[in-house]
Copies of this chain bind each other. A is one copy, B any other.
Amino acid sequence: MNEFELIRRHFTQATPNAVLGVGDDAAIVRPSPGHDLHVSVDMLVAGRHFFPDVDPEALGHKTLAVNLSDMAAMGATPRWAVLALALPQLDGAWVEAFARGFFGLAAQHGVSVIGGDTTRGPLTLSVTIFGETPQGQALRRDAAQAGDDIWVSGELGLAAAALQQRLGRLDLALPPECRRQLEWPQPRVALGRALLGIAHAALDISDGFAADLHHILDRSACGAEVWLDALPTHPALHGARAQLLSCIAAGGDDYELCFTASPARADAVLAAARQAGVAVTKVGRIVAEPGLRLLNGQGAAVTLERLGYDHFA
Contacts and interface: CB of A to CB of B under 8 A. Distances in A.
Given A39-B115, A121-B122, A122-B124, A310 B29 contact: no
Contacts of A122: 45, 121-122, 124
A135 B86 contact: no
B30 A126 contact: no
A29 B33 contact: no
A2 B310 contact: yes
Interface string A231-247: 00000000000000000
Given A24-B141, A74-B24, A84-B126, A116 B41 contact: yes
Contacts of A313: 2-3
Given A84-B43, A313-B2, A38 B27 contact: yes
Interface residues of A, number: 71
A40 interface: yes
Interface in A47-105: 47-49, 70-71, 73-74, 76, 80, 82-86, 89-90
B43 A85 contact: yes
A27 B73 CA distance: 12
Q: Interface of chain A, helix or strand or loop or mixed?
A: strand
Contact of A204 (B25, B47, B89, B204): B25
A124 to B, nearest CB: 5
B119 A49 contact: yes
B126 A25 contact: no
A126 B312 contact: no
A37 interface: yes
